[in-house]
Structure 1
Amino acid sequence: MEACGLQQFCRLLRMVKRLKISVRQLKEAASRDMAVRVLKHATVRDNHLSALCLSCTGEFPLFYAGDDILRGVEAVLQDEDSGLSLREVDLRDMPFTLSDALVRSLAQRSPGLRSLYINNQTLVCNVTPDTVREVLASCPGLRTLGVFYASLSEEVLAELLCPQRPPFALLELFCERSDKYVSTVSDELWVALRERHPVLAVNVVLNHTLPAKKFLKILQPSLPVRELELLTYTYLVDEVRFAAASYSGTLEKLVLQTTSSPELDAALVGVAECCSRLREVHCYCVVSRDVVRAFLTHCSQLWRYTLKTQKEKHPWTCTVLK
């Protein structure tokens, strides 16, 4: 965007309610600087901004960790002259390691937050459970939260059990190698959370860096899983059987990256027979025709799927039913 065009655009930013800033050329410092400038103009005092999404795509400079973008965002959040008061924040597509300071500033400046996603799937999670607990305490109306599993603790989830807290709707969890060092949430606590928040749904992503021995420790039976992504490239037959047995009443989306086997085919048929609420299933390995037939027969709400009976060139395309 030319300087004159940006100047004219910035005059209108105070009227914007929902803003998505997408940095598409990360190799260009000017592009990253412009993104911060737009954010600063959108958060001037007396603005109308209520929803913010920051997204970064394209090639990264060598050893680039997003420091200039993160510093710019943090400066805006800590600027007492800004009129920041957000209700929705989505940082899932900003692939840089977020800090405690940034997340805390966000919560302190926007106590009216209803939705916060900081599960951006970076290699390292630096947001501690204490910070997430502070976010929940600072934002009593928060109903949707996306975090790394490593940022959870039983003390964090206990905050959701407070009697005065309004209904909590969605928890998104990204699980990766850091989780081998943390304690898993007990099934008893998930039972308590389901009783306290009957509409609670949980979306879970298990990354390939997570040790296999942690899979079923994280996937507790009473976890109200709505979407499950097992992106591990490992043997997942036990996990698929567990999902069919434990999440039959809640599971709506299943994604697998694993290896083919007759045992996996049988486990997937079991999912189709048990999980009638499934709307999507995507399996990135070859399956039998019986698997495809089972999902089409038993899952009446299925609207798209990726189930291949023979290998195709990457990327595999999904089939849309309705």
Structure 2
Amino acid sequence: MQFVTLFVLSLFRPIRCESGDCVPQKFSDLLPCIRHLKLIVSVADRAHRETGLWVLQQVLARGEGRLRALCVSCLGNPPLFYAGQDLLQGLVDVLTNGSSIMALDLRGVPFTLSDSFVKSVAALCPVLRSLFINNSSLVCGVVSETIRDVLKRCPALNTIGLFQASVSHDVLRDLMEPQRAELKLLELRCERSLKYVTALCDQIWADVRRRHPGLRVDLELDHTLPELQVPGVLQPSIPVRELRLHTWTFLLDEIRVVAQSYAGTLEVLELQTTASPELNTALVALATQCTKLREVHCYCVVSQNVIEAFCSLCPDLHRYTLKTRKELHPWTCTTLR
């Protein structure tokens, strides 16, 4: 009971749909008042999914356009061969009343999103300013022409999360159209689907940067991304703010590129790689150049001088995961302030 009370008061607490009666009846009348909703749905049982969709329907249908931001996240182990069809179709069905939604975050939905689903969402939510569809699916199911359609239907979009395989040169040119809103954030997930699309050249990124001088780009390189594709992703003109290299490969050349290309913009760096003396040297060199870093997380052991370099040379650093010896998973993060 207290959990729901906190949610209603703050209008930003999550509702967890893990049982058939996750919202007490006495509080259900308050659902239409919600403006920001994080909906956490257990996918293990159909009844839980139906409860989650019922909550969302109450928020939207009875809310008279109050809902502004929606985040959907899934937990639990789905049934064998379950691909989320009922949940995704149910989401489209309830969004019929969702024209007021300005922010939609589907990063916590683990199922492959289709072209038809994304187009339906864009058509039902034309006032979107923020859209994240770069979820944890193993493959990208959305082609670049679908993203171009989304940009046409949602002209106010300025914060976008995508698989990089969905981004073509034409998509970036559409984002540079003079009538479009100023682009603030582009979050890109890079995985094995990039093998099948044309790599984005550095010149188009330079053009995007001139058109949107305030743009920041967050890059995540997944372990499924072939090593040969990594240099094509790390183009020097990208204004990278956060970079997560989850490739589990040797990253010495990549670290040197990062230090040279993103020194003026990089604020968060995360590495999953192999320890070596050469890595220590490369990280110390990076610390001397990327002085705007606020966070650095390296999930392999490093030397003490690496820790000292980041702490002394990066005045804005407030969180880091840098270890001189292995720990049990998960490694703890050190907070400076």
Please state if 1:223 is matched with 2:247: no
Aligned residue among 27, 45, 48 for 2:44: 27
Look up the match of 2:90.
72
Shift of 1:143: 0.8
Q: Deviation per CA, 1:59-84, whole angstroms, max 9, x where unpaired? A: 2222222222112112223x3xx253
Q: Deviation per CA, 1:85-140, whole angstroms, max 9, x where unpaired? A: 21000001111111112211221122211100000021121111111111111111
Look up the match of 2:14.
none
Q: 1:248 is matched by which residue type in structure 2?
A: A
* Secondary structure of 1:209's aligned partner: coil
Aligned residue among 157, 162, 169 for 1:142: 157
CA pair 175-83 structure 1, distance change in 2 beyond 3 A: closer
* Secondary structure of 2:265's aligned partner: coil
Q: 1:262 is matched by which residue type in structure 2?
A: P
Shift of 1:47: 3.1
Aligned residue among 117, 123, 127 for 1:102: 117
Q: Which one is further off, 30-39 or 278-287?
A: 30-39
Is the 2:44–2:79 Cα contact (8 Å) retained in structure 1?
yes
CA pair 2-123 structure 1, distance change in 2 beyond 3 A: closer
Q: Deviation per CA, 1:233-270, whole angstroms, max 9, x where unpaired? A: 11111001100010000000000000011111111111
State the 4+ residue runs in structure 1 displaced beyond 3 angstroms: 1-10
1:85 & 1:106 partners in 2: Cα distance? Answer: 12
Look up the match of 2:254.
239
Aligned residue among 162, 187, 197 for 1:182: 197
Q: Which one is further off, 226-235 or 96-105?
A: 96-105
Q: How many residues align?
A: 318
Shift of 1:11: 2.5
Look up the match of 1:198.
213
Is the 2:20–2:48 Cα contact (8 Å) retained in structure 1?
no
Is the 1:255–1:281 Cα contact (8 Å) retained in structure 2?
yes
* Secondary structure of 1:92's aligned partner: strand
Q: 2:262 is matched by which residue type in structure 1?
A: Y
* Secondary structure of 1:43's aligned partner: helix
Shift of 1:57: 1.5
Is the 1:170–1:202 Cα contact (8 Å) retained in structure 2?
yes
After TM superposition, the structure 1 = structure 2 runs for residues 281-320 of structure 1, keeping only pairs within 5 Å, are 281-320=296-335
Shift of 1:156: 0.5
Look up the match of 2:137.
122
Is the 2:251–2:273 Cα contact (8 Å) retained in structure 1?
yes
Q: TM-score of the superposition, structure 2-length normalised?
A: 0.91
CA RMSD of aligned residues (A): 1.5
Q: TM-score of the superposition, structure 1-length normalised?
A: 0.95
Q: 1:34 is matched by which residue type in structure 2?
A: T
Q: Which one is further off, 2-11 or 181-190?
A: 2-11
Structure 1: gaps (5+ residues): none
Structure 2: gaps (5+ residues): 1-18
Q: 2:324 is matched by which residue type in structure 1?
A: T
* Secondary structure of 1:147's aligned partner: strand
CA pair 192-6 structure 1, distance change in 2 beyond 3 A: same
Q: 2:49 is matched by which residue type in structure 1?
A: R
